[in-house]
Chain A
């Protein structure tokens, strides 16, 4: 009988261990857990980006001070597919999910349009359609944001489902001002001028251009810069792909691929082995004069080398300077509230407080975002410096492109695969890659 008892104890212990495992996997921030039993735990998940995470942690402390019966559990994981998985698993856990507030990496993009029949629904649309996301239309804090931005970034089916925290641009190049001054170089405004800049650096033994090829998508930032300046109207072109009026083999797209190949041919040696995390430090230490990266990394570069003088300009893909004068990018970070969460009230209070002018201003300055609220004062010199390029802000290719289901590798995901071209990849000519992409696209046409 004693052994029986032992067995029961063992089973119980094992189950407790398992239960404890599922709890301990989330890192919790904030106040002591001593009297947490009486407290409401507000669960927020996020991806890792140091400057932003630090601000949110600070903000959570403020929030907990204002609402003493709330404990915020703020969990962060790497920004790659790990975060997408975390969103999926947390949303699916139990009938209430295991999260109260979660941000999307973009705004509500990628929903099938009337011209894209048969395209797959993105995850956020599946969630909203299943009634899992709260309707924020009537919340007072929505009024703090620009009407146009609410319409463009936070609205789906005429209802507001998210709070977008700002825009980022990523179709430009960071440049080292001191190196430019040393060789008497101006910011290039046309493709030929960019070629000149690269040539001068190369002639003087300076690495001109850094790309983070190992993660592939950072090359895509430069490619999207070329697309934004070479295409007259990207959305019309994308619609045309669906209707058959345009092809991936059109001269304009071949020009994009050709110039992408030129950039890669001029990039620093070994760029296909450089990962995204390393790139800013190479630039900050002056090892390379220009890098293709998003404006959000300005704070990272500044932290890596506070003395560095640097700026940002749009990649001039065209020889018509007028087409190169604007940056393209996306609406970043969109907070959503889980609708049947028991802590919905506090979730709304959290968003309300974050949307207050003072807190929001601190946030965008910490994050390096371009504000979606009116009259926000940007203290960052860097943002002030790129202001002229933002007046005609355009949405980038990956925000506009809608893909067909089950497409092959040459056109899969949201970007054009210039990285498959030599010297990065195995394909020799832009014509060959364009042909393969178009063949993949045609093969995936809805039957």
Chain B
């Protein structure tokens, strides 16, 4: 009835909660509101310079200016990136989780190894793969040389983007694995015993017991990887800087705000808003289908 006690004391939890709330409003929610406001202005980001409301002009620029084609390419690349990352990262993550869940000898070591890239962070991971793909005597180049071929890796228009996708998956498959592993370990073993009695083992046990039981973990993983992939900017910045046709919508936000040598915060805010709506819409649709699948299962 009185979970936090009576009298003034029950206000204490709210007081504690008000600290993060305040920080969130000041540093998170406030700037987001200002971004919405800015996206309808011609604000330049130069202190003391006047700005005015110009309606949907920035949005028209995004969809209608002469470089809109490049922006559509960037959106296409975002979708391609998200699709590839979500499918492969979760498939690999689930596969590893199932193997580790078999209680093999040294499973703790395997866990650590696969989770390591998550701990390293983007810059270190980027640096590692830059070194591996160093065209002057890097191990990847030596490997290709053995087969009589060579590559420019992150400096190659044809494969730079695919390599970034690969690094992204390498970085976060351990993350997916951990969540799947938690889901797998919550399945009571008597379910499998009962299933075995009914003749369900191997693949059948997986499709009929394991997969339905980890539906919540599956939902979490899918959503996190969709949102994460659509927002990816850092690893692109570290590996190619958006060159060689590797610009995505999220990278475009950065490039518009800081990359052009002229300040145009209005347009950059509009791009950020479009990025937000893009991620929001796709993740809401995904959530709807994933939740429905969970209930049916």
Spell out A's residues near B (CB within 8 Å). Answer: 3-4, 7, 10-11, 14, 80-81, 84-85, 88, 91-92, 95, 97, 110, 120-123, 126-127, 129-132, 213-216, 269-270, 272-274, 278, 282, 405-409, 412, 420, 424-426, 440, 443-444
Contact = CB atoms under 8 A, between A and B. Distances in A.
B216 interface: no
B156 A270 contact: no
B49 A122 contact: no
B134 A273 contact: yes
Interface in B9-31: 9, 12, 15-16, 19, 22-23
The 5 closest A-B pairs by CB, nearest first: A273-B135, A270-B135, A272-B155, A443-B66, A272-B152
13 contacts: A3-B9, A11-B22, A80-B241, A92-B46, A123-B261, A214-B155, A273-B153, A274-B136, A274-B155, A405-B65, A408-B67, A440-B66, A443-B66
A103 B14 CA distance: 49
Given A122-B261, A122-B262, 19 more contacts: A3-B15, A81-B258, A85-B258, A120-B262, A123-B263, A127-B46, A130-B49, A132-B46, A213-B152, A269-B150, A270-B136, A270-B152, A272-B152, A273-B156, A274-B136, A406-B65, A406-B66, A407-B67, A424-B155
Contact of B155 (A3, A213, A405, A406): A213
A408 B245 CA distance: 13
A110 B262 CA distance: 10
B23 A272 contact: no
Interface residues of B, number: 41
Nearest to A420: B157
B44 interface: yes
B45 interface: yes
B154 interface: yes
Nearest to B65: A406
A340 B262 CA distance: 22
B156 A121 contact: no
B47 interface: yes
A412 to B, nearest CB: 7
B188 interface: no
A270 B150 contact: yes
Given A11-B19, A97-B47, A132-B48, A273 B258 contact: no
Central interface residue in B66, B69, B153, B258, by most chain A CB within 10 Å: B66
Interface string B120-139: 00000000000001111000
Contact of A121 (B48, B67, B241, B262): B262
Nearest to A11: B19
A3 B13 CA distance: 10
Contacts, number: 113
A317 B258 CA distance: 34
A10 B19 contact: yes
A272 B262 contact: no
Interface in B143-168: 150, 152-158
Contacts of A425: 157
A132 B47 contact: yes
Contacts of A121: 262
B141 interface: yes
A90 to B, nearest CB: 10
A406 B262 contact: no
B259 interface: yes
A444 B263 contact: no
Given A3-B12, A11-B19, A91 B67 contact: no
Contacts of A213: 152, 155
A292 to B, nearest CB: 16
B152 A412 contact: no
Nearest to A410: B70
A69 to B, nearest CB: 28
Nearest to B44: A126
Given A3-B12, A126-B262, A88 B135 contact: no
Contact of B47 (A91, A424, A440): A91
A270 B67 contact: no
Contacts of B141: 270
B243 interface: yes
A270 B141 CA distance: 9
B16 A7 contact: yes
A426 B158 contact: yes
Contacts of B70: 408-409
A429 to B, nearest CB: 16
A338 to B, nearest CB: 10
Contacts of B66: 406-408, 440, 443-444
B57 to A, nearest CB: 12
